[in-house]
Amino acid sequence: MSFYFNFTTIEDMSQVRALIDFMATQDLDYPHYDDWLQRTESQLEREEKKAVLAFSDGKLVGNIVHQVCRDSGLGTLIELKNSRVHPDLRDRYFMKFMLKQLSKECEGKYDGLIGDIRAHQKATLNYFIHEGFIPVAKTTLYEPNMEEVTVFKPLRQEAGLLAPKIKKVIVAKSL
């Protein structure tokens, strides 16, 4: 069986629409997801958010949407806002490659990557830990009675020291 795949950043506005449509097919059970998608489309068009895209045979099958973290108390970080791979193409290293691309693009410019994962999504959390992310806080961020685990991956050796500070900021915001 042959296959064709490629990875890229957003190159034109048609890819923004394709990305929004792709993310709409898997809302991952987050509250107000449709509203978030609408805001994200606009932010991608203005380049406030960026994305790494994975294509297979010309069809979008994976993404990482990210932005510069707007919380100045956390250092210079890239915040992962949304990541997924089409269920039929999981376990083919698409996510690993996209994370590696993002890490390489951010090396030397940012202290690390930060994101959050629903606490009950154990496989996803374990995957990110395997990829070098450190769980730094477990708290409710988006809705009551639903815990998220904030994960952090340092991109500079000294950035590992940010983990306690990140935990303090995240926990304070959730109160």
For residue 92, give the DSSP letter.
Answer: S
pLDDT for the residue 46: 96
Q: What is the mean pLDDT of residues 147-153?
A: 95
Phi–psi pair at 153, nearest 5 degrees: -125, 110
Please tell me the CATH superfamily of domain 5-174, with its number.
Gcn5-related N-acetyltransferase (GNAT) (3.40.630.30)
- Point out which residues pair with 18 in neighbouring strands: none
pLDDT tens-place string over residues 103-137: 999 999 999 999 999 999 999 999 999 999 999 99
- Check: pTM over 0.95? Answer yes or no: no
Q: Are 114 and 79 a contacting pair, CB within 8 Å?
A: yes
Predicted confidence (pLDDT) at residue 2 exceeds the cutoff of 60: no
Contacts of residue 53, Cβ cutoff 8 Å, sequence gap at least 6: 7, 8, 9, 10, 15, 19, 60, 62, 63
pLDDT tens string 47-105: 999 999 999 988 999 999 999 997 767 779 999 999 999 988 888 889 999 999 999 99
DSSP class of residue 138?
E
